[in-house]
Amino acid sequence: MLDGSSKCLQPRRRSLATTITAVKFSVTAVSLLAFGTAMGAELQRSCIEPPATVTDMKGINTKHARATAKFTEPDIVKACHEGYVAQGSYPSPEACISQTKNQLLGEPLIVEANCISGTLRLGTMSFKMPVDTNCVSGGIFAAPAFKMLCPKYRGKVENQ
């Protein structure tokens, strides 16, 4: 059966179109897999607001990288029970949840990065990498957002 007469030993021939379609499918699958790992990620813009859940990402590692996150009810409930929100000004976690939901629920948080120049816009704040990772400067939130949008950035992201 090693004479080449067996069909199972014949090489499979594919058309160029079939090969291109298979490659496109593989690239799309890998892109979706990578995107899926970022979904559920959180972004935060302030030490007194809860984190928001990432709902969309585009242009990773480009000069037009962008992520959109939204404040969800689970984000707010978790924050009010774990102290992300300035709980001291609320009589209870329930009051925190109620007021914070009225202020933030469904509000989009937009983050844009230029992965070439090392800049980031987080809400209304702008940053140039490297950033100080503290709450006062906002760098504590800018650094993780930049790393998420620009994972291949070769420069320094955080000051030590």
Q: Six-digit token pair at 71?
A: 């404040």
**Closest listed residue to residue 99, CA positions, set 83, 112, 80:** 80
Whether the model clears a pTM of 0.95, i.e. scores above it, the answer is no
In the chain, where are the structural domains located? 42-159
pLDDT 10s digit of each residue in the chain, 160 long?
445 444 444 444 544 444 333 333 333 333 333 333 355 689 988 888 888 999 999 999 999 999 999 999 998 998 888 876 666 688 888 988 999 899 898 789 999 999 999 999 998 899 999 999 998 889 999 999 999 999 999 999 999 7
One-letter identity of residue 100: T
Q: Six-digit token pair at 146?
A: 């930049």
120: Cβ–Cβ under 8 A, 6 or more apart, which residues? 111, 112, 113, 114, 126, 127, 129, 142, 145, 146, 149
